[in-house]
Chain A
Amino acid sequence: MADTIAVQDMRKTYGDLKAVDGVTFSVQPGEFFGILGPNGAGKTTILEIVEGLRAADSGSVSLLGMSPWPRNSGLLPRIGVQLQASAFFERLTAREQIRTFASLYGKSTSTADEWLSRVGLDDKADTRTEKLSGGQLQRLSIACALVHGPEVVFLDEPTAALDPQARRNLWDLLSSLNSDGRTVVLTTHYMDEAEILCDRVAIMDQGRILQLDSPAALIRALDAGVRISVEPNALDPDTARGLPGVESVEVDPASISMATHDPTAVLGELARREALRGLQVKSATLEDVFLTLTGREYRA
């Protein structure tokens, strides 16, 4: 099947800043594709070029087999866009906003109302957008991006500036977006978000893609093993160091934690010694991947 998005050696420079420095990737139909990186990594610029808001300096971009630049009105009804800020008309209610967007795409008011309830804003339908919370605004803007049934939807940091609770609430909605074959492209600077939502993730830093694969594959390739921790009084540190399979041991007031590539052996040994109080098993995360790739802590 043809790629939904194909980007070849894209470059974009603002003055001296290389915002996008030779990026190549493709997105398959129905895929949930994530672009992950800290602020200023070039995520938004890539999105804007693929959407057709900007021209690349060089390289080729194809969206649904067409060029998005210059403004391609044949392409616009087939894509949905949710922008970083919440872009709404002043002083309209949630229902009026989504109905206005629906009519711009020639969709009925009933379609608009269906989307409003799908994102759980039925009881806020008559509230003006100025009075909605951050999470409600994001839900509404996602509904406005999807109201015309686009084949590809772009979400630019949909959970930025939300509190952790609202962020997790939004994940349920986001993870359902590609269920009916829709392609989703999401930028985020949250590692956990990319890990949970995305089929594949491009990890970016300073205008380049450092690595591109499924979150699980990226973590596997890291070969970081797992970290097993128990309560500090469950086991004394020297015994822990002597256990088969344990590579290193760290002790802090809250826990004693062991790094290993053979969790089965270590867990079996801990169970035999009845030292499982406060047990936690953590595998490596995208955060560890980023740390390994860039040699520095991930800063969101």
Chain B
Amino acid sequence: MSGFRSLALAIFKGFLRDRQAVFFSVFFPLMFLVLFGGIFSNQGQSKLDVVEVGKVGLIDDLPAQARAVFGDSFSVAKSDDLAASIKKVRDGDVVLAIEQQGKKIVVHYSNADQVQAATAQGTLQSFIQAANVAASGKPPTFGYAARPVEDKSLKTIQFVTPGLLGWAIATSATFGAAATLVGWRRSKLLRRLRLAPVSTQSVVAARIGVTLAIALMQMAIFLGLGVAAFGLRLTGSWWMGIPLLVCGTFSFMALGLLAGSIAQTVEGATSLANIFVLPMAFLSGSFFPLDNAPGWLNVVSHLLPLRHLNDGMLDVMVRGKGPTSALAPMGILLGFTVVILLIASRFFSWDSD
């Protein structure tokens, strides 16, 4: 036990003093979190700029409640100069110029940004229809309500935090295992430890223990910063992310062991770990959601452990699924661990000669 403790301490100190490792496993992913969390936090809330030319009864006479909804979609500026307003549309400063001619609402739009123009027109038409229905004095036959399926507070940060955390853990676990194995083998430290009265289990357990501690630290930093600074809201069974993360760490350490068993130098091992981790992060939805990805890509991504870690963490941490939903991804991650370890054992050796 004292062997485990002193080895774990030595490895942990070595990690904290390795500026490059700390940067790439903690600060680099955090930079992405700040980037995504900060820049895209208002996504989906941008309003459409329109100009109201003269007096438009539809807009001015909206009942208070409808006016609030209208204000959610449109930011209205007023003007009396039609020509100047149309120029603004042409220049792309506003989406629509709206004027009223008798009982007709006339909308000036530009074909330069057809998507925005269409969105604005559609929304405006729905207000006109609602006003028409109200003018007829009859109650509407059909009501309409739209509700997002996610937590109402859902923002970009909800999606990116679990994915980036998954990437950060994949990086530190894979690189840690690979660099330790190759470095210790080359420096003959592995051989030296075999001649000391410590069991192989203690050596392996010390390395795993340190990697798990680092992973939990990463989780605390990511979730803490997300909640404190970027309005991240965790759902009920987010704590199931912890055992998920432990299982994920095992499979990434196995991956690192594979890289370290194949490579002969520390440089080779880290390059190999890079080749494993970076494409895996892209294909597993760490940087962008894979909802619109082609089917074959989804199939490929399910062959990667990080995909299952990311999905599992999204489910329990932001999609509000129950704790049991994490069990299947955990099982899959442990399965990956076993398979990768079996492959790695074919290449493994204690000595580099």
B300 on the A face (CB < 8 A):
no
Interfacial chain A residues near B194, Cβ < 8 Å = 53, 71
B104 on the A face (CB < 8 A):
no
Q: How far is the CA of A52 from the CA of B18 in the complex (A)?
A: 34
- Max count, chain B CB within 10 A of own CB: residue among A73, A76, A91: A91
- A92-B196 contact, Cβ under 8 Å, with A83-B188, A83-B191, A86-B187: no
Q: How far is the CA of A235 from the CA of B270 in the complex (A)?
A: 69
Is B197 a contact of A77 with CB atoms below 8 Å? yes
- Contact among A52, A92, A99, A106 for B14, CB-based, below 8 A: A92
Is A100 a contact of B9 with CB atoms below 8 Å? yes
Shortest distance from the beta carbon of A242 to any chain B beta carbon, whole Å: 59
- Contact among B9, B187, B195 for A81, CB-based, below 8 A: B195
Those of B1-33 within 8 Å (CB) of chain A: 2-3, 5-7, 9-11, 13-14, 17-18
Is B191 a contact of A87 with CB atoms below 8 Å? yes
- A100-B10 contact, Cβ under 8 Å, with A89-B189, A91-B18: yes
Interfacial chain A residues near B189, Cβ < 8 Å = 87-89
Chain B residue at minimal CB-CB distance from A77: B197
Is B195 a contact of A53 with CB atoms below 8 Å? yes
- Contact among A52, A81, A90 for B192, CB-based, below 8 A: A81
A111 on the B face (CB < 8 A):
no
A206 on the B face (CB < 8 A):
no
Interfacial chain A residues near B195, Cβ < 8 Å = 51-53, 76, 79, 81
Q: Could you say which interface size class chain A belongs to?
A: 20 to 34
Total cross-chain contacts (CB, 8 A): 67
Interfacial chain A residues near B268, Cβ < 8 Å = none
B323 on the A face (CB < 8 A):
no
Interfacial chain B residues near A92, Cβ < 8 Å = 10, 13-14
A271 on the B face (CB < 8 A):
no
Is A103 a contact of B18 with CB atoms below 8 Å? no
Is A104 a contact of B198 with CB atoms below 8 Å? yes
Shortest distance from the beta carbon of A107 to any chain B beta carbon, whole Å: 10
B92 on the A face (CB < 8 A):
no
Is A103 a contact of B17 with CB atoms below 8 Å? no
Those of A98-123 within 8 Å (CB) of chain B: 99-101, 103-106
Is B192 a contact of A83 with CB atoms below 8 Å? yes
Is B187 a contact of A104 with CB atoms below 8 Å? no
- Max count, chain A CB within 10 A of own CB: residue among B3, B10, B14, B183: B10
Interfacial chain A residues near B186, Cβ < 8 Å = 85
Q: Contact flags (1/0) for B166-202 with A, using CB distance below 8 Å?
A: 0000000000000000010011110111111110000
Can you list 13 residue pairs at the A/B interface with Cβ under 8 Å? A52-B195, A53-B195, A71-B194, A73-B197, A76-B197, A83-B188, A83-B192, A85-B186, A85-B188, A100-B6, A103-B2, A104-B7, A104-B196
Q: Other than A53-B195, A104-B7, give 4 A-B pairs with Cβ distance below 8 A.
A: A96-B10, A96-B13, A99-B6, A104-B3
Chain A residues within 8 Å of B, Cβ to Cβ: 51-53, 71, 73, 76-77, 79, 81, 83-92, 96, 99-101, 103-106, 128
Which 9 A-B residue pairs are closest in the complex by CB-CB distance? Answer: A103-B6, A87-B192, A87-B188, A87-B189, A91-B17, A76-B197, A89-B10, A90-B14, A91-B14
